Amino acid sequence: MMRLTSLLALTLAVSLPARAAPVLIKLGTIAPKDSRYDQVLEEMGQKWAEASGGQVKLRVYAGGVAGSESDMVRKIGVGQLQAAAITTVGMHDISPEPQALNIPMLVKTPEELEYVLGKVRPRLDAALARKGFVVMCWASAGSPRIFSTIPLHTPADLENVKIWAWDGDPAAAESFKIAGFHPVVLTSTDIVPSLQTGLINSVAEPPLFVFVTRTFEKANYMLDIPWGMLNGAIVVRKETWDKIAPDVQQKLLAISDDTAKLLSAEIRHLDDDAIEQMKKQGLHVTEANEAAWQAVTEKAWPSVRGKVVPADLFDEVKRLLREYRAAH
């Protein structure tokens, strides 16, 4: 009898299809640990696990523990990570097209960003797909301002400004130089130490990021002019994505898109709240003539068009902005 039972169990084990091992997606981000950015990613991971019946698990490495955004792209390439939540600056190491949306003082409001992105997203997604990446969603990362250790009022004050330029973003350094800044190329994790040593004395980052990283404690002056819009995406290695069943893929994409919409909507208010909190803790906000800063910034646009961002895409973004502004 025991022999018959064992034989039956063995037969069932052979005949039943093996349950696939869960797909573990290790995701890197420079978003500070326990910040709202990080919380949203953790919440998304829980929803992924529930929607997939535990077959897709997301593990988030926040706060830059996986390195800079350039490091994360490299680690995805060798399989040490499977995904990243990165800005369009970090995407330059994959493909330059997404940077068309983040040129200083070109796209100026969340509404403009949403409109333009809606029109050019197929091209951006396709550019990343050609390099082996699947875009889960796009989201706003806020509107950068210039924070500095010295007050800035007019472009004439730039003579003594050593500003952080993102490692892996050649356009930023060249653009800053043409505009009159003195760029210093560093990784994002080097910002605070470099402000402390005086290697740099200014940085252009979204207020929420500056608040949660306490960067404003060193750079306690803010130029009250939006420096443009910063957005990013969650990208997954296609080789990993293809291990997930198609019906589950659609569920994960829907969850990711909802997450991006939630974060983009929250960021608008969180940036404003962060500024108010920083003002209570010693931040000085300096008013300035936006037209004067717009003029020096536009001088740098030719260094981007056709050299970093494809010329036709740059022109398309400008056309879409004219179209949107004419209607609003």
- The per-residue pLDDT for range 231-254, each reduced to its tens digit, is 999 999 999 999 999 999 999 999
| Rounded average pLDDT over 107-121 | 95
Residue 167 pLDDT more than 80?
no
Q: Is the pLDDT of residue 154 over 70?
A: yes
Q: What confidence category does residue 17 fall into, taking pLDDT thresholds of 50, 70 and 90?
A: very low
Q: Distance of CA 125 to CAs 117, 129, 138, 245, Å? A: 11, 6, 10, 21
CATH top class, domain 22-327 = alpha beta
Quote the pLDDT of residue 178: 85
pLDDT in tens, 277-328: 999 999 999 988 999 999 999 998 998 899 889 999 999 999 999 999 999 9
Model confidence at 165, pLDDT cuts 50, 70, 90, reads confident
- Confidence (pTM): 0.87
> What is the DSSP-derived secondary structure letter of residue 243?
T
Radius of gyration of the chain (CA): 22
Q: Sorting pLDDT into bands at 50, 70 and 90, what band is 170?
A: low
| Ramachandran quadrant class, 95 (left: phi over 0; alpha: psi -120 to 50; beta: rest) | beta
> How does residue 171 score in pLDDT terms, banded at 50, 70 and 90?
low
- Can you give the pLDDT at residue 20? 64
- Buried/exposed 46-71: b ≥16 CB within 10 Å, e otherwise: ebbeebbeebbebebbbbbebbbbbb
| pLDDT value at 18 more than 80 | no
Mean pLDDT for all residues in the chain: 90
One-letter amino acid for residue 247 of the chain = D
Domain boundaries, the chain: 22-327
Q: Which residues contact 327 (CB under 8 A, 6 or more apart)?
A: none
pLDDT band for position 89 (50/70/90)? confident
Q: How far apart are CA 165 and CA 145, in angstroms?
A: 14
